[in-house]
Chains A and B, each alone.
Chain A
Amino acid sequence: MTSTDLTREDPAVLRQYYRQMALIRAFELRAAEMYTRARIGGYCHLNLGEEATVVGLTAALRDEDYLFATYREHGYALARGADPGRVMAELFGRADGLSRGRGGSMHLFDTAIRLLGGYGIVGGQIPLATGAAFALAYKTGPAPDAPAVMCLLGDATTNIGAFHESLNLAALWHLPVVYVIVNNQLGMGTPVEAAAAEPELWKRGCAYRMPGQRVDGNDVLTVRDAARAALDRARAQHQPTLLETVSYRLRGHSVVDPARYRTAEDTERLRRDDPLPAFRNHLVAAGVLTDEAAQEIDAEADKAVAAAVDFADTSPAPDVTTLFDHVYATPAASMYRGLPGDPVTGGGPP
């Protein structure tokens, strides 16, 4: 829970964290609604319950850092500064979407804010993030102001081979990367303890002599400080870190999952640990926010999300003539670009 001493913090920064958390909450609730109204297709995974982790991690990043995310990444895009309208437009599959309607909810890319993707294949991003860190190290040596890479992954992802191969390479080659296990305690419906022989997941880094730590993912400041320390190690020493944040998913795995595997105890815990009201109450108690100011921020978030939905609604569907755009950087003359049923060659009857 939010227990960090607030007296040393800049109140304006704290209010900004709350503003970001409120925006993510409002955005995700609205995304769920839009999904049930069939405005969003495919899969849709929400950051509800992870807002403190999202904002804490992104607060630790600098503009020049790179972020690789999972398929549960709307909040990270928003907190990194992506335009909410373009994020919603991507969810709606529109031309103005962050990925021009090619990726959808699971594949948000925005190179302007160095968000190098959400990834739909579990753990697919881990070797890539390791490679981005390799590229940074290839170009420059360690320095306190050097850029670094943050790689997000879920708790269940620590069981795949690519996770272990990547950690080994990063430690062996001293790459400036911070791996963050966003442990929301469930891999779809499977509890961590049922999937990992070492359920204290951060300890898996010990096999690679990689420093690590488990922190309370419901405490935005604790998350931020741990991530900042890890990023500093990455920048200044090219020392990778395995950080674990523990929070709890408020809803199902995706919007369509009713989460029947949850017990009544779980549900009670959800209410108790929900990071958003906890942080708000903490800020109000510390005199950083008044109730009225908090309500105002919440209302602003709702307004921003309503504007995002309007933007997405008015953005056109991508034109079919653009179907083959962006598949190749350097198209070749002989590439086949037929639609289903089109002839394969120009050679008809004599």
Chain B
Amino acid sequence: MTVLSYRQALHDTLRAELQRDDNVFLLGEEIGVFEGSYKITAGLLAEFGPRRVRDTPICEEGFTGLAIGAAMMGLRPVVEIMTINFSLLAIDQIVNNAAKLRSLSGGQVSVPLVIRTPGGGGQQLSATHSQNLEVWYAHVPGLKVVAPATCADAKGLLTAAIRDDDPVLVLENLALYNTKGEVPDGEHVAEIGRAAVLKPGRDITIIGYSRAAVIALDVARHLEDDGISAEVVDLRSLRPLDRDTICASVRKTSRAVIVEDDWLSYGTGAELAATIQEGAFDYLDAPVRRVAAAEVPLPYAKRLELAALPDAGAITRVIRQTVGGH
């Protein structure tokens, strides 16, 4: 194990996969000379050259579609879309081509494509640059969507995504890039479609992914001091969704709170709550609650931005309400 930042874990994984397989190449805006808007690709152009690390013009639909076409031919493109907000320019290519070509061709072509893109608010980037749109992609059969919360998963899930023969969207998060954690040395490939119990507990299950899972873990540790034993489930994968792990946890704890950075209505929490009520109905001692972002375009002003996003205070409050007289 080595302690690395989330950013470094992503960088080292890209470098290792570029070294391992000549079919892997990187594509995106400002990833080469500029070294990436968030510096994930720093130094890679110098090391691998423009054939493997390709700066693109600003044309998300064009270069994402180009990557899909290259993947149909057997290459393994890793596209960086600067933020998930800009993926909307490419959504037709992602949803109508990447997700469907294998099916439409009756299994004749595959699309071993990775789209890396950060989501999340909290950086005062305001409404157009702070969204959590991953659920739009998680809705679509044919895609896989993973969301590493830990530095170990940043390596394990990105490696798995690059080696997977299906299109995988790897959701990163602006607020996680500087977090640090232990990362396994050497070969480390996570299983796509498996949730992880980050912390075992008895009284309540807190479910989250990406930044929300990290906050949930922090809250759960603090609640131990108050005698509340919370189990934290990190989804890690939004599609496929590991319903068995979620339901098994709730059957054990009988209570669930879902933490999500996306908007409440029709968000990931809605799917999770429906899953829990069906898979653990007779075990539930309290309604399943959701802590989600306020339903506004995220404002610029810091006070308003903070008020709109889920935080430890809100999560703690809802957990206490759910645990009730416990």
Contact = CB atoms under 8 A, between A and B. Distances in A.
B278 A344 contact: yes
A122 to B, nearest CB: 10
B304 interface: no
A229 interface: no
Contacts of B141: 327
B69 interface: yes
Contact of A99 (B106, B166, B241): B106
Nearest to B23: A138
B62 A135 contact: no
A134 B69 contact: yes
B59 to A, nearest CB: 4
**Secondary structure class of chain A's binding surface, majority of residues:** loop
B62 to A, nearest CB: 3
A334 B193 contact: yes
The 10 closest A-B pairs by CB, nearest first: A127-B65, A131-B69, A165-B62, A100-B106, A332-B193, A345-B279, A128-B69, A135-B73, A329-B165, A109-B105
Interface of A: 66, 68, 97-103, 107, 109-111, 116-117, 119-121, 124, 126-136, 138, 161-162, 165-166, 168-169, 172, 325-330, 332-336, 343-347, 349-350
A131 B141 CA distance: 23
A127 B108 contact: no
Q: In the complex, which of the residues A66, A136, A332 has the most CB atoms of chain B within 10 Å of its own CB atom? A: A332
A340 B101 CA distance: 23
Interface residues of B, number: 61
A63 B166 CA distance: 27
Contacts of B164: 329-330
A127 B62 contact: yes
Contact of A166 (B51, B62, B142): B62
Contacts of A332: 144, 191-193, 237, 240
A80 B110 CA distance: 22
Given A117-B104, A329-B165, A131 B72 contact: yes
A117 B102 CA distance: 11
A335 B193 contact: yes
Contact of B102 (A110, A119, A132, A326): A326
Contacts of B51: 138
Contacts of A120: 96
A141 B166 CA distance: 28
A345 B275 contact: yes
B101 A117 contact: yes
B69 A135 contact: yes
B242 interface: yes
Nearest to B73: A135
Most buried by B among A165, A166, A336: A165
B106 A102 contact: yes
